[in-house]
Amino acid sequence: MLSKKATCKSHGQDSSYFLGWQEYDKNPFDPVANPSGIIQMGLAENQLSFDLLESWIARNQEISGFKKIFRELALFQDYHGLPVFKKELAAYMSEIRQNKVKFDPNKVVLTAGATSANETLMFCLAEPGEAFLIPTPYYPGFDRDLKWRTGVEIIPVHCHSSNNFRITDSSLEEAYKQAQNLQLKVKGIFITNPSNPLGTTLTINELNLIINFAINQDIHIVSDEIYTGTVFDSPRFISIIELISSKEESKNIWSRVHVVSSLSKDLGVPGFRIGMIYSNNDTLLAAATKMSSFGLISSQTQYLMSKILGDKKFIRNYVKENRRRLRNRQKILVCGLKKVGIRCLKGNSGLFCWVDMRLVLKSDTFEAEMEVWREIIGEYLINVCPGSSCHCVEPGWFRVCFANMAKQTLELAVARIQALVINFNAT
C-alpha cells in the first residue's frame, strides 16, 4: 500500500535504542507516583539548568508573552529566518567555542534541529547509494537521520577500546577500502565532536588525520558539534573550523567542511527544534537554504531565542553554570560505578558516560550484551543504551545518561546498577 521510501527498514526503529524507550513508556519512574518504575538513562536530554531559563522568562514577561509582536510573528516568514536570530545564534556559536572561531550569520542555514540539518547535508552532498564514513560507536539516530530518506549508505570506521576509541589512520583506510569493496563511492566523512556516545572531544591529532584524509581522498567533512556547549572539563574543545582556518594547507578543503549544531543539548531545548548548518560553500548554502523550507523553526521560537541569546551576560553565566552542573553529575555516576568496579571511559563532555560493563557479561558476545540489557531494564528498572545500538564492535559497553533527572533519581539509579553488579558477583 505504501511507498518503498515510507516502509524502508533503514529507519532503525527496531533497534534496542528505540525499544528501550518503549519499555520506559510502559512504566516510567516517578519519585512519588511510581518509585518502582523504570529510570530513563537512555535519553540524552539536559534538564539541569531549566531553572536559569525559567527565571529569565519570568523576568522578561513582555518578551516571552509575545504581546507586542504577535501579528508580525504570525504572518508568513521566508525560509532564510529572522536576521536578528541568525546574528545572535552565530554569536552564541562563537561564544561556546571561546571565540576561537568567528561565525558569520550569512553562512548559517536554519533547520528544525540538528536532525534536519544532518539529513539536509546528506541530501545536498551525496546521491542515493553513495557513502559517508562514520567512526563508531555513533549516535543510533544517525541510521534514521542520514540514511533513511536520503538513500545514503553509512560505512563504519571501527574504533576500539584498546586506544580509548580514538580514530586512527588505519581505521580510516580500512573503512575506505570496505566502501570500495562494496563498490560504493565515498562522498565524505561524518564526525561527531564532542562524541555521542563517548562523551569525549576529538584530539588535534585525530582532527589532523581526518583533514588530511579528506584532502587526499577529495571528500567532504561533516562535523556534528551539537555537544560543544556541554564540554565541562579539559582538554578543551577544538572545532574542525578552528583548525582549518589556522592552516594554510587546509585552505583547499575550506569549502568541503560543514558544521552542524543545535540548541537541543547545551540549552536543553530539544522541543524548540533549533538547528543549523554552517558552511563556507556558497552552492551548498543556497541548496540547503531552499531545502530548509521543509523544516523551519517557527518565528515565535526564533524571536524568543534571539532575545535570550542576545542577553550576553545571562548566556555567559548560563554556559558556565550549566558546565559546572554537568561536571558534578558526571562525577556522581563515575564515582558510584567505580565503587563496584565498573569503569567509565574518561570523558570531558556530553550528557552521558560510556560505561564498560564487560565485567557482568557471561560471554564476550552481543547476545550476552543483550541479555544484560534485558536484565537491566526488566529487573533493575533502568533504560540504558547498549553499545551494539551505537554500532560498537566490542560487546559490553553501554551509554548511560546522567543529565535528564533529579540528583536523587541519579543516586537511586546508581544504587540499582551497583545492586546488579553485586548480585552478579555473588552468583
Ligand X SMILES: Cc1ncc(COP(=O)(O)O)c(C=O)c1O
Interaction site with ligand X (CB under 6 A): 44, 113-115, 139, 141, 192, 196, 224, 226, 262, 264, 270, 275
What is the H or E stretch that residue 19 is in?
helix 16-26
Using Cβ positions, the residue closest to ligand X within the complex turns out to be: 113
Q: How many secondary structure helices (H) and strands (E) does the chain include?
A: 16, 13
- 226 is a catalytic site residue: yes
Residue-wise burial string across 87-109, b where 16 or more C-beta atoms lie within 10 A, e elsewhere: bbbbbbbbbbbeeebebebebbb
Long-range contacts formed by 388-392: CB under 8 A, 24+ apart: 388/16, 389/15, 389/16, 389/17, 389/140, 390/17, 390/136, 390/137, 390/138, 390/139, 390/140, 390/197, 391/136, 391/137, 391/138, 391/140, 391/156, 392/136, 392/137
In the annotation, is 342 catalytic? no
Catalytic residue among 92, 265, 278, 376: 265
Q: Is residue 224 flagged as an active site residue? A: yes
Instruction: Catalytic residue, from 139, 278, 303, 380: name it.
Output: 139
User: In the β-sheet with 153-157, what is the strand arrangement from edge to edge?
Assistant: 108-111, 275-279, 257-262, 220-224, 186-192, 131-135, 153-157
Spatial contact of 131 and 187, defined as CB atoms under 8 Å apart:
yes
Tell me which of 134, 210, 226, 238 is the catalytic residue.
Answer: 226
List the catalytic residue out of 224, 238, 278, 377: 224
The answer for residues whose C-beta is within 8 angstroms of residue 166's C-beta and 6 or more apart is 159, 203, 206
Backbone angles phi, psi at 181, to 5 degrees: -60, -35
CB 324 within 8 A of CB 52: no
> For the stretch 224-251, what's the b/e string if a residue is b when 16 or more beta carbons lie within 10 angstroms of its beta carbon?
bbbbbbbbbbeeebbbbbebbbeeeebe
- CA distance readout (Å), 97 to 30, 238, 301: 37, 8, 23
Residue reference for cell 556522581: 332
Burial 201-212 (b: 16+ CB within 10 A, else e): bbeeebbebbbe
What single-letter amino acid sits at 272? F
What residue type is assigned to position 151 of the chain? G
The answer to whether residue 265 is catalytic is: yes
Q: Which residues are catalytic?
A: 139, 224, 226, 265
